[in-house]
Structure 1
Amino acid sequence: MNRYLKLVHMELGRFRNIYLSLFALILLVQMGGVWMKAQDLIQRAGKWHNGGLEAYLEYTAQAGKANFADVMSNSLFFMAPVFLSASVLLLYIFMIWYRDWLFKQPFIYRLLMLPTQRYHLYFSKLSAILIMFLGLVAFQLLLLPLEIGLFQSLVPAELRETISTGDFIRSQFMLQILLPSSFMSFVIYYGAGLLAVSVIFTAVLIERSYRLKGLAAGILYVALSVFIVTCPILIPFLMWNTIIENYLYPMEIFILELILGLIVGVISIWTGLFLIKRKVAV
């Protein structure tokens, strides 16, 4: 366990500079966006009757009071850094393996020669990805009350409505996925994410084990995994107006998808562990 934790710490340390840059990007862009949106709202309201309280009251009579969700929903200032950070982590799912083969003296040689079980290497990379993603989500959750507070401190009370952090999260579909309201939703969403990461890990290890042939096999493995997990939805849709239309209830489809997802996940992890133990070489 101690060696596994050291590997996790090492993986987090290797990504530290980029990871902290993502934190800074989210903080600066979102906070700057809140300030700019607040100033824009005040300026638009101030154009009525040369500003002042009377102008604010007339503006809200025409346009209604604004709240944080109205101003920041679908705003690039809010969405862009989130999508960019998610994209960087998605790319890093591949790079966390491939960077070990870079340069003349590949770092993977040192990793494979460590006096520890190779499955520690696999699970340390998987754990690092999960920790980094949860860290960004937690940072965004902590940042939301500060952003709402900044907006409400900048905008006069005559122009705005008060909104809670929970209300804002419920108004955003993306945040409902990242910050699910129930434990079951958390297990489903993040379980699906772990499944996707394990499938990608296996595809990368297939490619690293068999190179050119492995590249085609890895792509085929990803496509087959996606088809297996989604077939309870795809097959009835593709065979619409046939005898199996509406054959399964929604709960039955969900349970079937859950079972298939678990099967694919177990196969992916087992295959990945087998490859890194028996096939992967420098």
Structure 2
Amino acid sequence: MNRYLKLVHMEIHRFRYILAALLGLVAVVQWGALVWSARKMEAALDEVEKFGRYTFYVNELSDRKISYAEAIYNAQQLYILSVLTVIGVLCAYLLFVWYRDWLGRSTFIYRLLMLPSARSSIYLAKLTAILVCIMVSLAFQALSLVIGGAIFEVVVPSDRQAYSYFVDIVDATRVLEYLMPMRLVDFALNYGLGIVAVLVIFTGILIERSYRWIGIAYAVGYVLFCGAAIVIPINAMGMYRSDSYLYTAEIVGIEFAIILLIAAVSIWLGFRLIRRKISV
């Protein structure tokens, strides 16, 4: 356990500057977009009050107020761009966290594999580091929305502020709906799929590392097979059709079972490969 925790610390320590830069980018882009949007909407209100002319930003202004959710909605492109940037870098890190050790100048993976501990701890440490980075990014996004609310209250005069519920703030952009779903089932399904995707990619990387050139085809085939095993049953059972034979809860239960099975197989195969196929 002690070596596992040290490996987790090492992985997070190596990624800390990139993660900090990403979170800083999120803060600058989202808070800047919020100020820009609030100023635009306030200027639109001024036009309505002075000239009685409606603008693109304001359609119904009977109460002459601006809400935090509306300000985010009008700047949602920048919010989406910042979030997708973080997701893209984290996806690239899924590959980097393994190939950095193989392709680095000193082939650090050899030193890791020769540690006097179970090789599965290397797999688990890299997985834990990825999950910690994801959870830190999610927590920072929630904190960014809270701080954004304080910024909104400073930028917009109090007599022009309309109250926004947290659910309205999240619903203001499509990407935040997926990141922070309000229902526990949706949260578990979204992040359960994300964790399984990480496991599948990890196992695909180990397949490629174990079998080299032919391993590329094996790895791609494994990833595609796992993806099809999740997507095809949803369509086959008609989850999004009103005439489906099964109830939505039953379909979700079956999907959870499939996801758990794929996760278990990916972990078992990943452990087996790193113990028996990959050598120094």
TM bucket normalised to smaller: 0.7 to 0.9
Partner-residue secondary structure (3-state), 1:15 = helix
| Range 170-179 or range 69-78, more displaced | 170-179
1:275 Cα deviation after fit: 0.5
1:55 corresponds to which residue? none
Matching residue's letter, 1:153: V
1:233–1:185 Cα change, 3 Å: closer
- Cα distance in 2 between the residues matched to 1:220 and 1:148: 46
Contact kept? 1:144, 1:165, Cα under 8 Å: no
Normalised by the size of structure 2, how large is the TM-score?
Answer: 0.87
1:23 Cα deviation after fit: 1.2
1:142 corresponds to which residue? 143
1:59–1:275 Cα change, 3 Å: closer
Describe the superposition over 1:25-61 as per-residue Cα deviations: whole angstroms up to 9, x where unpaired.
011111111111222222333345669xxxxxx9974
1:201–1:107 Cα change, 3 Å: same
Contact kept? 2:101, 2:107, Cα under 8 Å: yes
Q: Does 1:22 align with 2:59?
A: no
1:44–1:193 Cα change, 3 Å: same
1:122 corresponds to which residue? 123
Contact kept? 2:34, 2:148, Cα under 8 Å: yes
1:252 Cα deviation after fit: 2.5
| Range 186-195 or range 171-180, more displaced | 171-180
Contact kept? 2:70, 2:172, Cα under 8 Å: no
1:185–1:48 Cα change, 3 Å: closer
1:268 corresponds to which residue? 266
- Cα distance in 2 between the residues matched to 1:158 and 1:215: 61
1:257 corresponds to which residue? 255
1:225 corresponds to which residue? 226
1:163–1:108 Cα change, 3 Å: same
1:62 Cα deviation after fit: 6.3
- Cα distance in 2 between the residues matched to 1:246 and 1:164: 34
Matching residue's letter, 2:247: Y
- Cα distance in 1 between the residues matched to 2:16 and 2:233: 40
- Cα distance in 1 between the residues matched to 2:252 and 2:231: 10
2:70 corresponds to which residue? 70
1:230 Cα deviation after fit: 2.4
Matching residue's letter, 1:96: V
Matching residue's letter, 2:206: L
Unaligned residue ranges in structure 1 (runs of 5+): 52-57
Describe the superposition over 1:119-143 as per-residue Cα deviations: whole angstroms up to 9, x where unpaired.
1000001111110000011011112
1:171 Cα deviation after fit: 4.2
- Considering only aligned residues, what root-mean-square deviation do their CA atoms show, in Å? 2.5
1:34 corresponds to which residue? 34
Partner-residue secondary structure (3-state), 2:30 = helix
1:54 corresponds to which residue? none
Q: Does 1:278 align with 2:276?
A: yes
Contact kept? 1:207, 1:217, Cα under 8 Å: yes
1:175 Cα deviation after fit: 2.3
Describe the superposition over 1:79-112 as per-residue Cα deviations: whole angstroms up to 9, x where unpaired.
2111100110011111111111113421111111
| Range 8-17 or range 183-192, more displaced | 183-192
Contact kept? 2:65, 2:160, Cα under 8 Å: yes
| Range 258-267 or range 131-140, more displaced | 258-267
| Range 62-71 or range 121-130, more displaced | 62-71
Unaligned residue ranges in structure 2 (runs of 5+): 52-57
Give the aligned length. Answer: 270
Matching residue's letter, 1:12: I
Matching residue's letter, 2:196: L
1:254–1:158 Cα change, 3 Å: same
1:50–1:185 Cα change, 3 Å: closer
1:170 Cα deviation after fit: 4.2
Matching residue's letter, 2:104: F
